[in-house]
Each structure stands twice: as structure tokens, then as C-alpha cells.
Amino acid sequence: MRPNLLFNPVALKELRQLVRSRTIIIGMILYPILLTIVSALTVSFRMQGRTKSDILLGPGLGEAPFYVAAVITGIVVCAALPLYAAFKTSSEAQKEKMGLEFVTMLTPANIISGKLLATALLMLIAIGLSMPVFTLAYLMRGVSLLQTFLMPAGLFLSGMIALCVLLFIACNKAWAPALRNIVCLIVYGIMLSFLVAQISLFVDSPMSPVHFRTLSAVGVLALIMICRATCAAQLSAPHLDALRPLRKTELVLYLLSPLAWLGGDEAFQAWIGTTAIGATIICLRAAFYPHPIPRVANLNAPRSWFGRFLTFPLTTGSVPGLVFGLRILLLAILALNFDNISNRQIREFFAACFEPVSLAIIISTILRLCHAGLRGYRITAGVSLGLFAFVNSAAILRTFDLCSRTAFDILPCCFHGITYTAETADYHFTLALNLFAIAEVLLLVSYIRAFHSYRRPQ
């Protein structure tokens, strides 16, 4: 996010519109009243049948109102406000109201940032209105101070993720109508249930090791940044280089991720997680956005061969650029750790990092090399998603012993977390190595071909 984001005209305009919206004003008045009444009722139910000494010396009364307040705040922050923002954006995008903003100096990234910022401020206000209840719950004992602070933080981050995902849907012309579809709302409900699980990771519990929290925080930040850039890319006016904000974001994440190494082993895991997430998103993007090198980028290409070589990943991004660079880095890591290649942890990391993304890289690279059309990419993406759904179904069947173990264990790619066991570790490592080799060759060919077309027009 840029430092001048606070001066974002879109954020200012959105806030001005929100201030005039009766729905928001009435909601903001009713929300703390509802929160207070429900929390007070919860406490009164808890107090029933307890003596004064039980209340003073027994377990605290704060837990119940704390979680009740968290659920109500969660509904507002993770569902109501993101949906409101997404409906509004979807309506603007469908009615092409944003055209006038594209003839100004605003970029699509500015527009999305403004919408994110305005809704984030509204979320913070909602959380701020809940804070007295959270604080009161802490004073009534039953929840720790850490929980009192982590819960609002978790809710805010979850709300931001929900907002990003919904804005992503809202900005996509093909998907936006689905926002008003009941099926979409069901999917959104399922997604929210995952978010609730994610919130629990932020709450102090023996189930949440510290490195996992670090990973979650880095992952959430990466997701927000990438969703913002992707939304901007989808909204982009035709004259603009639509993928520029996305490439910039990817590059920032890519360049910053090694810094996590400075934190030791724990941060190393976070870095591996971040790069794996980044690589997956880059590959998916490559599959969904098979754009050629934009005219503007080609016009601004440096004259020298070396200059072009350096700027090429910045210009074309995706498979031929960043992913290729990422693979080179991974090779270097492997080479540096070659002595420890038998180390189980290294093998696990390698398989976990590479196995999930390799299929996407291979498929998208082959499509690119075959000059596949948009339809080809979409069909392939659909088939990949179908395969993913099939394997997840198989995993569920396996859990209930309804699927052959042998058949299940040899499932490749994307399924590391499902099929990985101590017995299948070697199989997964070998599979990842083979896929890695195939992808490297394909990427090299793709990179050279794409670079060949990246030249200054005469």
C-alpha cells in the first residue's frame, strides 16, 4: 500500500457516500445497542443459579459474552460489510459507472485501494464499537488479555480476506452476477466457516504453534495484496497494461520473502509458505490471463539486450518471468543444501513447495507454448478444478475407508497434505523431482520464446 493511500480520492468519496447512507447510519446506531443487549442477556443467563461467592471466586463470567460479541462482530465485519462493499462495486462495474474514473489520472489499483480502505475503516469502526464489550468480558474474567486483543485482530484480518475475495468476484464481469446468486452465498458461507477456523488459530491455544501464526499473518498479507492487484487488473481500462499492478505486487512479495529468512527456522517455514502461495497464484493467473506483452511495455523496452533481459520479468511476469526466476532460486537452495538432501525435513519442504504448483506450471506452460486461446485456458482451468474436487472427494472417501489405500496414495500433485505419510515420503519426493525437471525444461523454452517477442518495435 502506498503512503498516500490516506489521500486516496476514491476512499474519501466512498466514506462521504457511506456517511449519507441511511442503512449504514442506522446499522451503526443499532449495532452497539444489539451487542450490549445480547451480551447482558448472556451474562444474566450465566449468573442464574450462582451464588455471590461463586461469581467472585469461581470461573469468570466473561467467556460467554466474549464469544457472543465475537460472533456478532464477525457477522458484521466478515459478512455484512464485505458483502455491502462487493454489491456496490459489482453494481458499479456492471453498469460501467467506473468509465469516468478511468479517464482521470486514477489507476484501477487506486480505485480498488480506495474501496478496500473505506471498508477497512468501517470494519475498524465496527470493531471499535465492540471493544467495550470485549474489555468488559476481560474484566469479568474467563478470557485472557491476549485473547481480548487477538480476537479483534483476527476478525479484522478475516474481514479483509472476505472483502478481498468478494471484491475479486465483484470485479470479474463473468462472476459478478453470481454475487446475487444463492449458490454463491452458500459457497461464501462455507468459506466463512474456514475463516472461523482461521480465527481460532489466532486465539491462544496449544493447537496453534507460533510459526503457524507467522505463516498465517504473512499469507493473509500476501493474499490481500494479490487480491487488490488482481481486482485492479480485472477492472482495468483497455488502454492500460492490466497486469501491471499484479506484477508489481508479485515482485514486491518475491523480493521481500527472503527477508523472512533472517528470523531463523520458523521464518524459513513462513518464507517457504509465502513463496509457495505466491507461485500458486502466479501459475493460476498465468492460466486465467493469457495476455500478450502489452504494447506500452514493448514500447518502453530498453534498447540493449541486457536491459531487456533484466526488465523482462517485470514486463511479462507470470510463467516466463517470475516463476522461472523462482525455480532458479529453488534450484540454488537445493544445491546449497545438497549435502543434506537426505534430510527428511528438506525433502518434505521440497515436496510440499513444489508438488502443489508443478501441475499448474506444466499445464499453463504447455498451453502458452501451443498459443492456446482464452477458451482453451478456461477449459483447462475448469478441468484442473474438477480434478482437484475429485481428489478431495477421494480423500474424504479414504477417511471413511471407502477408497483403496493404494489407489489413494499414488495421487499426484496438489494432494501432498492429503496423501503424505511417512511411507509415501520417498514417492512424493521423487514425483516432485520429476515434475520439477519437466517444468524447468518447459519453462526455459517458454521463457526464450516470450523473450524473443519482447523487443522494441521499429
Partner 1 sequence: MKIEINHLTKSFARGFRAVDDLSFSFSSGEVIGFVGPNGAGKTTTMRILATLDVPDSGDILIDGTSILDNPDLAHRMIGYMPDDLPDRNDITVDEYLDFFGRAYRLRDKQLRDAVESVEEFTGLTSFKDKTLRALSKGMKQRVSLARALVHDPQLVVMDEPANGLDPRARVELRELVKALAENGKAILISSHILSELEEMCTSSVIIERGKRLSTDLEEANETWVRLRLHELAPEAALPRLLEIPGVTSAEIQGNGCRVRIPTGDDAAAVLARALVERKLLAIQFQPETGSLEDLFMHVTKGNLA
Residues within the interface to partner 1 (CB under 8 A): 7, 9-10, 12-13, 16-17, 20-21, 95, 97, 99-106, 237-240, 295-296, 299
**Rounded (10°) angle between helices 108-139 and 210-235:** 150
Cell numbers at residue 245, please?
A: 499492478
358 vs 428: CA distance, rounded Å: 12
In whole angstroms, how close is the CB of 299 to partner 1 at the nearest point? 6
Least CB distance to partner 1 at residue 239 (A): 4
- Nearest CB to partner 1, comparing residues 11 and 69: 11
Q: Which is nearer to partner 1, 96 or 423 (CB)?
A: 96
Distance in Å, CB of 307 to partner 1, minimum: 19
Q: Spell out the residues 6+ positions from residue 129 whose beta carbon is closer than 8 angstroms to its own.
A: 28, 31, 32, 35
Name the region of 414 (left: φ>0; alpha: ψ -120 to 50; beta: rest). Answer: left
Q: Which is nearer to partner 1, 300 or 399 (CB)?
A: 300
Of 316, 323, 332, nearest to 444 by C-alpha is: 323
Closest CA relative to residue 228, chosen from 180, 309, 164, 144 = 164
Closer to partner 1 by CB, 88 or 213: give it: 88
Nearer to partner 1, 12 or 223 (CB): 12
- Distance, CA of 123 to CA of 155 (rounded, Å): 9
Judge whether 122 and 24 are in contact, CB under 8 Å: yes
> Measuring CA to CA, how many Å separate 149 from each of 16, 117, 165?
30, 21, 25
Nearest by Cα to 322 from 255, 369, 233: 255
Q: Which is nearer to partner 1, 49 or 457 (CB)?
A: 457
Q: Tell me, what amino acid is at 408?
A: F
Q: How far is the CB of 174 from partner 1 (least distance, A)?
A: 16
Q: What is the smallest separation between the CB atom of 271 and partner 1, expressed in angstroms?
A: 37
To partner 1, the closest distance from the beta carbon of 393 in angstroms equals 39
Distance of closest approach, residue 45 Cβ to partner 1, in angstroms: 42
Indicate the residue among 109 and 164 with the shorter CB distance to partner 1. Answer: 109
